[in-house]
Each structure stands twice: as structure tokens, then as C-alpha cells.
Amino acid sequence: MASNGQAEKVAEVEENVGDNGDTVTPWDVQSKSDKGIDYDKLIERFGCQRISDDLIQRIEKVIGQPVHPLLKRGIFFSHRDLEFILAQKEAGKPFYLYTGRGPSSESMHLGHLIPFVFTKWLQDAFDVPLVIQLTDDEKFLWKNLTIKETMKLAKENAKDIIACGFDLNKTFIFSNFRYIGQSPEFYQNIQLVAKNVTFNQAKGCFGFTESDSIGKIHFPSIEAAPSFSSSFPFIFGEDSNIPCLIPCAIDQDPFFRMTRDVAPRVGLHKPALIHSVFFPALQGAQSKMSASDETSAIFLTDTPEQIRTKITKYAFSGGQSTAEAQREKGANCEIDVTYQYLRFFYDDDEKLQEIKKVCTSAYL
Amino acid sequence: MASNGQAEKVAEVEENVGDNGDTVTPWDVQSKSDKGIDYDKLIERFGCQRISDDLIQRIEKVIGQPVHPLLKRGIFFSHRDLEFILAQKEAGKPFYLYTGRGPSSESMHLGHLIPFVFTKWLQDAFDVPLVIQLTDDEKFLWKNLTIKETMKLAKENAKDIIACGFDLNKTFIFSNFRYIGQSPEFYQNIQLVAKNVTFNQAKGCFGFTESDSIGKIHFPSIEAAPSFSSSFPFIFGEDSNIPCLIPCAIDQDPFFRMTRDVAPRVGLHKPALIHSVFFPALQGAQSKMSASDETSAIFLTDTPEQIRTKITKYAFSGGQSTAEAQREKGANCEIDVTYQYLRFFYDDDEKLQEIKKVCTSAYL
């Protein structure tokens, strides 16, 4: 398999906290710096690769169109084996997209949209099948929620996700609590992964402790399994081995670092990845938006009036250390949350440049 | 729930090896004594109860017939909450039977038959539904076998089990690799258990280490889940909570000690248990028969000639320390394997007594 050459960091050691105090796990993202996560250090620690301008040009050549602003602007900034996926496409060979969501609140917030907006674009640009996993079981294992409550959240979130406009004929969206009970092949792949990961390895990737439930400790194999096309025999046929590309925020990387360690040992393709940075909370880039903190996020169900209030009241803006410096130098767009939100969602490059110019000018 | 009063030993401490050096886990049974496992000590360590003569009489009263020789002769010797099950029956309330098998070899051996022979009798005597779990996933996780190989073993073993003659209208036999992919409710109950057991607790019950796979560590929740009737909505209805009785060899008790700890915390009935001693290997009572050691076991596929050879060549017999003592005192039937096999399988009490008399007499 072409994708198996690269050395992975599937550690026997604790690596979910970096030297610089940045913590990045699927359940906890924290930085001790007010600039937020140091992504260069994170890339090095995780062992993935920054997306270069050359790679972006190669993508544009393969798909025959410009890349999405989320990629152009470096919001999707890191990858594993993206070249392999491009080579598949160039050779006319199939691949598929896999992304997902842990449904922890009835309404999704803006940050949750990023992978789906980008995945929708990838699906259109490459014309490939897509599977979307809703990890209601994960939320059940981690939160104080019943199974029925998490299944309801998955259903609610599915509506928001469907609204992103995926290709109806090429998209399968599923809840684990429903689909695992409908597909022997999916369960078999879950156990295929679970057999090949030790508690020590899971501890190294995810920071589990001996007080964690055996459900949590086993869960990574459930997020891993959709990386293998044979989990979806009705889409890809039985015993298929079609590679996949996973667009996700970089906090999900540990799941797939683990998966990539297992895949060659069981004769399957390693999943390729394309990672985004975190969408900043209203309070600033130190942490990612959290659905469990109402004031940290703009929800898809918020009214325009509520959004206006949240931006005015909570959005961290400016960034100079004194009001005077702010007036003199203007805002620092690198950390100004309102500007950052535009950078994520406002497609018009020219206008965005203008806005940046205005914001970073002295207020004179 | 009437069955929740009794204190359980779900330990945070290593308890799979006793003071006397007896090791009893679902995957390892060893004794340092040539008399084999000390069951009195095991009962005390596990926190279950010996079946008294009074309890046997009560069973006979409830079912209106004598109990099976396996119970009469103390082969099924220990229990948890059997009184509660009898009270259910007396009150005309439902319960069901749950037993199972880990399919590790194509042919089952005599020892594997014990729980099924006894369960068949229980089903007839109480006229209740029965579910039989084939843990092909367990064998996949523990052995050097592929998923397909373990599924094939499950199918082969199912034939031997079906041949025991269960009530076709009241028996559901399933392989995990098939049924988990067909029943969302079963998977949901698996995760319900998995959420409520920590790695530390699993370590205490089963002796797991940090080098064990996350599949193994999670597996106990899969053997636990059929204890809850809602895992089988097509038999018991949705959201049902019908108690069950589990006939099994006592090495399986840790699974259900764990399940009984979880059940009241999730509002479900604790499973009741009835435990058998281990069927001795041909070499004697120090260990249980093992399908992986050809000379330790008589297989259901062995020809009469093969069985004769095995008994003659490998069966530990006599038990006196010298040939002379053997001639003088006769065999010690407590450890004579041939006699012990008759005790497990030969129904005629009178003839068995005669045989014992002959064997224990001096050869004069």
C-alpha cells in the first residue's frame, strides 16, 4: 500500500500534553498561551505534515478548480497522506470521505460546521462517496445523558448536517447506536481494531486512566472502524479495501493515528487525513468553542438578534493591551475573534482584505 | 428489586488468584493442589452461596419433580439469588435462562456439554425461554484466529448445542459477530454496562493488564448484556426488564459479579446464577478440560474406539500413592477421573453407587 511508508507516532508514552502546556485530545483542548494552540508544535508532536503551497497547487491541478477558502486561508492546514489520495484520483482509482460529529447539544454551533462545509466542498470537487458518523455512543459514555437522549441529539444534529447540502446519492449519515445494530461488518471492523490496540497505546494517544470506564477505553475502535470501507458493504461491496480521506479538526487526529498504526497490520489501507485548526470561542483563541458553554458559541439556532448580542457582548476583539494602544494601532486581526470568524466563513477574499485593512488601522 | 439486597464482591483489588494459589478466571483455571480447585474457598472468595439440601428441596417443590443428577450430586453446587428466581416462578412471574459458549474448537468436548445438558433440563422443568450466546468475538480477541474462522467455529458449535434438544420455540442461539450487527438494543445494553465499569474494576475481576487489548478489556460488557432482557426485544418486548438465571461453570462468575454490580445502578434486575464445578481433564482434577490440548479431553466427534484409547491411555485413575496401596485400598473415587466422568454423565444413581463400591474395594 502506497500510504504505509510514513512513520507514525503511536506512542507508548503520554503525549496528549505538549512541552508548551498545550493539551489536545478529542475531549479536551487547552492552551496556556493567549495566542491559542501552537499548531507548528502540534504538527511536530502528532507527526503530521503542514499543507504546503505546492500541495495546494497540486490539488487545484487534480480537481481543475481553485481550492476552498478554508484550505486557501490555512484553516485546513495539516494532513497525512493527502498525496496518496491525490494519486488515487489521478489514477482514476476510488476513495471516499469520512467525517463525523459527537452530538452533545441539540443545536450545533458555528465551529461544528467547519468540517461539514469543507467536506461538502471536497465531495463536490472530487465527486466521491461520503460517510458521516454520529457518535451518540461516545456522548453517552462521556456525558451524563441516557442512550435515548444521545440518540435524539444525533437525530437533531443530522438535520443541521443534511442542511449542508451533501450529494444525496453518495452520502451515508449514521448514528452508532442505530448502525452498529444493523451492520455485522461494522461491528467486525470495530473488534478488528480493538484487538490490535493495547490499553497502554490508548493511554498514550488519549490520556485514559485506570478510573476510566471500559466503554471509553474501547471507544476509539468505534471511531476508527468507518476508516475501513468494508464497514459499509452496501456502498463499497463486501471485503472491499478502498482508501478514505478524513477531514476533521486536529483534535480528532489521535483516533486516526491509532487507526493508521493498526491498518497495515490487518492488511487494510491507512486513512488519509486533512486537519483544521480549532474554531475560536467568542472569548478568544485559547480554547475551542464549546457547546456546553452557551456564551462561548454561536448556535445555528440563534436568531440574528441573539448573534448580534453575543458578538457585541462576548466576542474578544482588538487585542492591544490598552484602550489607547488599541486606538493607535487598531485591532490585531490574528486574535480578533470577529475578524477570525469572517476568515472562516466569509468567502470573498477581496472584501475580507479590505475589512482587515480597516480593522488593523488606527482609529483616526 | 428483590435480588439486590446481597452484597457483591466487585473488587478494586486483584482477586483472581486466591490465598491458596487457585487461579480462576474465565480464561485461566489452575490449582496448585492435586485435589484441584478448593470450591469452598472459591465460594467465599467470589461471595456466592453453596446450594443447600433445603434449597434443592425447595426447587423440587416448585417444579414438582426431582432435580437433575447434576444438581443432586453437587456438580451444580453454588448460586446467586436462586431463591429470587424460585419466588418469581412461585408467583407466576416470568424469568429466562441465559448461557453461552466461547467457540474455540470445531468440536466441543464433554466438559462443554455440562451447562447445556443442565440448561436443557432447567428449560424443561421451568418451561422458560432461553438465550445462548456464542462469543466468537471473544475467541477472536483472545486467540490467533480471524473473524471468519471464529464465526465458522460458532456455527459448528451451534450444531452440537442444538443437538442437546432445546425447546425450538423458546430458544434463541446467536453469535455475537452476527447478532450485535442485527440488534441496536443489544449494542445499547453493551454500552450501558461498559459505561458503568472502570478499567480498575475490570482488572480486579479479570486480571487484565495495561498490555491487554482494548477489545479484551471491553469484552466483559458483551458477555454481560444478554443478562438484560431488553437485549432481545423480539422475545421479551421493548424496554422489558425480566430477570434471568445463568447456568454456567464457576469460572464465568466474574462476568456476572460485574453485571450484578452494574444492574441496580441502571435500574435493571441482577442476573441470578447457578454454578457448576469444572469438568476434570483426563489427567485429573488439577485443571479443567481444554479444547486446545487434544489429550486432555474427549471430544463429541471422537469415535468409541478413540474414547476407549483416551480413557485407557490418559485418564488419571486410582489415586493411591503406590501400586500396592492401590491393590489394597482400591481407587479413590474423589479423584479417579473415570469415576468422576460417570458422576457427571451417568444418570442411574443406584448403578453409580455399585460402581463406586466396586472401585473403592481392594482388588481381592
* Cβ distance of B147 and A191 shorter than 8 Å: yes
* Cβ distance of A213 and B191 shorter than 8 Å: no
A134 neighbors A158 (Cβ within 8 angstroms): yes
Q: Please, which residues have CB within 8 angstroms of residue B11's CB and are 6 or more apart in sequence?
A: B201, B204, B205
Identify the weakest region by mean pLDDT among A98-102, A197-201, A288-292, B159-163: A288-292
Q: Please, which residues have CB within 8 angstroms of residue A231's CB and are 6 or more apart in sequence?
A: A183, A185, A186, A189, A225
Which of A201, A198, A199 is closest to A12 using CA atoms? A201
Which of A41, A80, A361, A125 is closest to A248 using CA atoms? A80
Torsion-angle region of B223 (φ positive above 0: left; ψ -120 to 50: alpha; else: beta): alpha
Which of B2, B143, B20 is closest to B81 using CA atoms? B2
Provide φ and ψ at A285, rounded to 5°.
-80, 0
Provide the whole-model pTM. 0.91
Mean pLDDT of A241-268: 97
Chain A nearest C-alpha distance from B110 (Å): 30
Say how far apart CA B37 and CA B96 lie, in whole Å.
Answer: 30
Please write the tens of the pLDDT for every residue from A341-363: 999 999 898 999 898 888 777 65
* Cβ distance of A197 and B214 shorter than 8 Å: yes
Among B141, B181, B195, the residue with its CB nearest the CB of A213 is B195
Among B183, B186, B211, the residue with its CB nearest the CB of A200 is B211
Mutate to test the interface with B, among A212, A216, A218 (most CBs of B within 10 A): A218
Residues of B in contact with A187 (CB under 8 A): 177, 180-181, 187
Residues of A in contact with B141 (CB under 8 A): 191, 194-195
Q: What percent of chain A has pLDDT over 90?
A: 69
Among B180, B182, B188, the residue with its CB nearest the CB of A147 is B188
Q: Which H/E stretch holds residue B116?
A: helix B110-126
What per-residue confidence (pLDDT) applies to A289? 64
**With 80 as the cut, is the pLDDT of residue B219 above it?**
yes
* Cβ distance of B194 and A147 shorter than 8 Å: no
B221 neighbors B194 (Cβ within 8 angstroms): yes
Among A137, A188, A214, the residue with its CB nearest the CB of B147 is A188
Asked if the C-beta of A165 comes within 8 angstroms of chain B's C-beta atoms, the answer is: no
Asked if the C-beta of B196 comes within 8 angstroms of chain A's C-beta atoms, the answer is: yes
Report ipTM (2 d.p.).
0.90
What per-residue confidence (pLDDT) applies to B30? 81
* A287 pLDDT tier (thresholds 50, 70, 90): low
Please write the tens of the pLDDT for every residue from A194-220: 999 999 999 999 999 999 999 999 999
